Structures are given as structure tokens and as C-alpha cells.
Structure 1
Amino acid sequence: MTRPGNRAGRARALLVAPVLALALLLSACGLGTSGGFSRSGRLAGDLAGVDLSGARIAVGSKSFTEQLVLGKIAVIMLKSAGAEVSDLTGIPGSSSARQALLSGQIQMQWEYNGTGWISYLGHSDPIADPRAQYEAVRDEDGRLNNLVWLAPAPANNTYGFAMTESTRQRLGITKFSELTGLDPSELTFCLESEFNNRNDGFEPMARLYGLDPDSVQRMIMDTGAIYSATAEGVCNFGEVFTTDGRIQALDLTVLEDDLHFLPNYNASPVLTRDVYDQNAAAYDELFGAVAPLLTDQELIAMNAQVDVEGREPADVAYEWLVGKGLIVEE
């Protein structure tokens, strides 16, 4: 399963094809992004004095819902600060978005520290402590690629296993470690094929928690189908992404990964060094105000507005920023 889910997100290896595709897109008609119009406002409260007049910056994102919402948040904040912003959100594929940043076609995007560490920097083992994981990515990507990782959001869009509220009440569990106390007949899992087969996926996770992966029932299906299958009781435990809006919409509960097997995927604003250095204090202040507010529940709610209610990511992002008092309407 790529990161995240149906969102062609955090690929575990940088492939040649996406890079070639990016080159073709750049030479033909740009990045092939969704872009579109985003309203801006006026910075409010403690941010009112931040001024990026004269700054020019192209903001990118990947093409799945959460990345579009985060990308639009960045676009709106930068425009509201007076910057001239090119909206290149919606780049198809993790590899293409990364190459756009490395090549300077975009100068900012939100990125996940687990993706940076494993997919882009090539490490096989995640770092369990969220702060240590962020600092390791920040330092190495800065040294090797001249990229600046700003402080991360608390939201962690990692893998998880969810169950319905009725299943939670019936089984009386909240943690993955508690699965060992269940009758084997209750150990039914809906999984996407990649996570089922990866050497850092379901089987090593099960073994860490004392489960025999060969003794549980596994149903392999497309990522999008897992949410509805779990909600309908096809399996007791479905593989999900922990900030997906369907968790809230389907009233699912995510089991706590209490032995911390799963990698951390906290999102940070990432900028090219040359652009960051021109207005470092302003970028620090802007995104230092935004990032701490992006909790799991905030992203789940915004993602649900897009995926469940069919709203536009730009509208969801704008209303969230107004609601948090970061901008006011002009």
C-alpha cells in the first residue's frame, strides 16, 4: 500500500517512470496539477504584522485529499501575507511532487517525515520517537538536498487498524496488544495487498504483537473498499489511514499501536533553502501558527468534508483558517 491509501501518496521507492513523466509534463504544459482558484484573506491576530509582499513562491502538493487541503492552506496563508503565489497543488504522484521540489519547479509543499525518511532518503527502519524522526529527516534532507523542514504538525497520518463501535464494545479492546487475548475466530483483517506482503507490513507487525500471521483470517481488497467492508462487518479490523475522513463518517475506532510498530507520518512544511532564506522569519511565523493546530481530529474533519460531503479543498481550507482566527475575510 502506498502512502496514503487510495491517494497514491508515499511510495516506498522513487521510480524512474514518475520522474520521466514529470519531465514530460514540465516540457509540455507544466506540472499537470489541479491548481484552481483559492480565496485569500487578511492575516489576523499575532500574524497581522507578517508581510511577504514581493515574495514569489510556487506551492505544490500531491493529489490526494489531505495533501490538497494542506496545500490550499499554504496557498491561502501565503497569499494573505502578500506573497505572489503559484498554485501547483495536485501533482500526480509522490515521486513527481518530490522531483518538482528538488528541481525548483515548486518551492514549497507539505511532506510527511516517514515518507522523507523511508522513501526519499532510503532508510529501512523508522524512528519510533516522533520528534527524533522529524529531526533526523530535517537534518539529513537539509544537508543532502538543501531543503528546509519546518516544525511538524501533531497529526500523524500513518497506517492503523480500525473497528466499528459495536465491535469495540463486544470485544472490549482499544489496543493492538489486546488482540492476543481474543478467540482466534475474531482475528479477521481486511488488508490492502501491499501492506499484507511488505517486509515492514502486516506479518512483522503481527509477530511483534504475539500473533501468528498464519492463524488469522486475511481478506485482501482495494484500499477504498476496506473502510466500507470494516463498517459492514466483513472483517473485525480494517487497515486504514489514521486521518482519513471516512473514519469519522463511518464511526470507526482506530486501535492504539501501543508498541509503536508503525512509522510516524507527521506533516511539515518543506521549502527550498534559497526561498526560505529570503524570508525565514516570516515563514517560521506563518507556519509556526498553522502547524500546531493540525491535529488528527482537525484533519479527519477536513478530509471528511471533501471525501464525504463533496466540498472543494480550497473552500474547506479557507473556512478552517477563518475559524481558527488565522485570517479574516477582506
Structure 2
Amino acid sequence: MRKKLLFTITITLVLMVASMGVFAQAKKITAGAKDFTEQYIVGHMSAILLQENGFDVDLKMGTGSTITRNALVSGQTDLYPEYTGTYWLTYAKHEEVINDPEELYNKVKKEDLEENGIVWLERSDINNTYAMALTKEQAAETGIETLSDLAEYVNENQDLIWAIDHEFADRPDGLPGLAEHYGMNIPEDNIKIMEIGLTHEAIDRGQADITMVFATDGKIKKFDLVVLEDDKQFFPVYNLCVTIREEVLNEYPEIEEILKPIAELTNEAIQ
């Protein structure tokens, strides 16, 4: 009887220890996000969706595009929201601009998986493309409505002050490419480079005349800005998708379904 009781207690303890081990081995994910509002929103959304489905999430946010991307490719993070146009032009350095969202998505998805082992989950309708914006007063005073109008004005007057962030100042799909595409001659002294969160405030305070914005940026409405038409189609499509390392998705295939609500987001919803 005593041996039977001891055996029962031993088995019970073994099962308890085993179950504790199962709980200790939580499904861990390191999620990333870049350093602007939309990324913070989607980054937190990803973390919450995963946590609600039993994942232990370490959320790392606030880094620039290149650092965030490199962290994923090197395995320091497991997933983060990225944009089709950013991959195509900035990371892969393709010169061809593809304006069809589905065509670009399919090419990016195929290439990044084959070359880097990165899976692009379902494409959202969010198109966080760059744009240039003026205040309503400045637009009315100068008559600028399109980027071609802007180029003509800049080349004749050269008095507009630009407020842009560090990335836009250097990216091929930013100011350098924009100036070349539209034939703008912008004096270096007219360009103010600052943190991304300060560009709108510079316009509002009269410290600058024109700024770069994202199409999904709620501050366009807040500061009553006029977005200029990209009449020569320089800026590519920037649809948001969750990107994830293939090995991580193979280990946790349920992540694709868990994060599906992100693919249902729109520009209006994110503003």
C-alpha cells in the first residue's frame, strides 16, 4: 500500500513538472516596427493579436527602415509591417516603378521569399505613399496644385523652404529622386532636415513652406494641408503587409490567420 502511494505521488509530481515545462515553453515572438505613427499603431495591433492567441511578444519599435529591415533578415526580430514600394525601390534597388498594387505585391512576395526567406502576408489596402503638401494659404497664393506646378515654381523663384525628415532626404524614392524626376533645382540652403514628427509643426509655425507627408497621415487634416497631385507618377505604391521570417511562419503557421485583421485595414481606418 505504501509503495503504491509512493508510486502515485511520484507519477503525480512527474506530470506536474512536465506540465510546468510545457507552460514555461511559451510561444515567443519578437515583433518590430519603424519610427512613425502608423507603424506604432500596426506594431501594437500585431502584438495584441498575437498575445490574445497565446504568444509571448517582445515588441521593439522606433527604428528607421534599414535598421528594422536588417533586424528581420538577420533574425533579431521575427516579423514587422513593411511596404511593397519600400522593398522594391529601397532594399532591392529596382529602378522600375510599378504602380499596379497587385503586380508589385506579387513580385515583391516572390522575390523576397526566394532571395531572403521572408514571407509577405496578405496585402492591405493601406497605401502609405509619400506626398508633398502645402498649407491652403500657400497653395492659394502660389497656385501650386501639382508636383509639376511645384517644379515650375521652384525653378523660377527658389524661395520655398522645405521641411523633410532624414530618410526622405536620402532615399531614392524621396527628395533626390523626386527632384530628378520633376526637374527641380532646389537650393540646399532651402532644405531643413528634422525629425519626422517636427515637419508638420514647422509648416504650422511658418518655419517652412512645403513638407513631405504620408498619404495615411492624420496630420494632413489636423494642419489643414493641401496634398499636391503626383501628376507624373513618381511615388510608387506602398501597400502595407506584415513581413515574417519563413522559418518562424513554418513553426507557427497560425500566425497568418491571427494577423489577418491587419490586411483588412484601409487608409481611412489608420488615419
TM-score (normalizing by structure 1): 0.61
Q: Which residue of 1 aligns with 2:38?
A: 66
AA in 1 matched with 2:224? D
Identity of aligned residues (%): 31
Call closer, same or farther: CA 1:291–1:59 in 2, change over 3 Å.
farther
Change (3 A) 1:261 1:105: same
1:203 deviates by: 5.5
- For residues 133 and 141 of structure 1, what CA distance do their matches in structure 2 show? 12
The aligned residue for residue 131 of structure 1 is 102
Instruction: Work out which of the two has the higher radius of gyration on C-alpha atoms and give 1 or 2.
Output: 2
Matched residue SS, 1:88: strand
SS at match of 2:229: coil
Q: Which position in structure 2 is the counterpart of 1:34? A: none
Q: 2:259 is paired with a residue of what secondary structure?
A: helix
The offset of 1:162, in angstroms, is 0.8
Give the distance between the partners of 1:92 and 1:181, measured in 2 at CA: 36
CA distance in structure 2 between the aligned counterparts of 1:269 and 1:239, rounded to whole angstroms? 24
| Equivalent of 2:59 in 72, 88, 104 | 88
Amino acid corresponding to residue 60 of structure 1 in structure 2: A
The alpha-carbon distance between structure 1 residues 218 and 100, as it changes in their structure 2 partners (threshold 3 A), is closer
Aligned CA distance change for structure 1 residues 173 and 120 (closer, same or farther; 3 Å): closer
For structure 2, list consecutive stretches of 5 or more residues without a partner in the other structure.
1-24
Preserved CA contact (<8 Å) 1:276 1:283: yes
The residue that corresponds to 1:248 in the other structure is: 221
Does the Cα contact within 8 Å between 1:59 and 1:88 map onto a contact in 2?
Answer: yes
Distance 1:208 1:100 in 2: 32
**Letter paired with 1:120:** Y
Is the Cα–Cα contact under 8 Å of residues 82 and 243 in structure 2 kept in the other structure?
yes
Once the two structures are TM-superposed, the CA of residue 127 in structure 1 deviates from its matched residue by 2.8
- Kindly indicate whether the alpha-carbon contact (under 8 Å) linking 1:57 and 1:106 is maintained by their aligned counterparts in 2: no
TM-score (normalised: structure 2): 0.72
Cross-structure match for 1:229: 202
| Residues 217 and 266 (structure 1), Cα distance of their counterparts in 2 relative to 1, 3 Å cut | same
* Amino acid across the alignment from 1:262: F
Work out the CA distance in 2 between the residues paired with 1:234 and 1:95.
29
Partner in structure 2 of residue 261 of structure 1: 234
Q: State the secondary structure of the residue aligned to 2:99.
A: coil
* Contact 1:156/1:266 (8 A) holds in 2: yes
Unaligned runs of 5+ in 1: 1-53, 301-330
Q: Distance in 2 between matches of 1:114 and 1:76?
A: 26
8 Å CA contact 1:155, 1:266 repeated in 2: yes
CA contact (8 A) 2:163 2:192 kept: yes
Q: Are the aligned partners of 1:188 and 1:237 in contact in 2 as well (CA < 8 Å)?
A: yes
Cα pair 1:59 1:75 within 8 Å, conserved: no
Runs of 4+ residues deviating >6 angstroms: none
1:161 and 2:101 correspond:
no
**Aligned mate of 1:144, from 115, 123, 127:** 115
Alignment counterpart, residue 49 of structure 2, candidates 74, 77, 99: 77
Contact 1:231 1:252 in 2 (8 A): no
- Comparing 125-134 with 200-209, greater Cα deviation is found at 200-209
- Shift of the 153–189 alpha-carbon distance from structure 1 to 2, 3 Å rule, reads farther
1:201-257 deviation per Cα after TM superposition (whole angstroms, max 9, x unaligned): 435534544x54158993333244432232234443222333344333322222121
**Is the contact made by 1:188 and 1:216 (CA closer than 8 Å) also made in structure 2?**
no
What's the offset of the Cα at 1:148?
1.0
Distance 1:253 1:164, change over 3 A: same
SS of aligned partner of 2:242: strand
User: What does residue 238 of structure 1 align with?
Assistant: 211
Tell me, yes or no, if structure 1 residue 114 matches structure 2 residue 85.
Answer: yes
The change in CA–CA distance for 1:229 and 1:283 in structure 2 (over 3 A counts) is: same
Q: Report what 2:263 is aligned to.
A: 291
- When structure 1 is superposed on structure 2, of 264-273 and 184-193 the one drifting more is 184-193
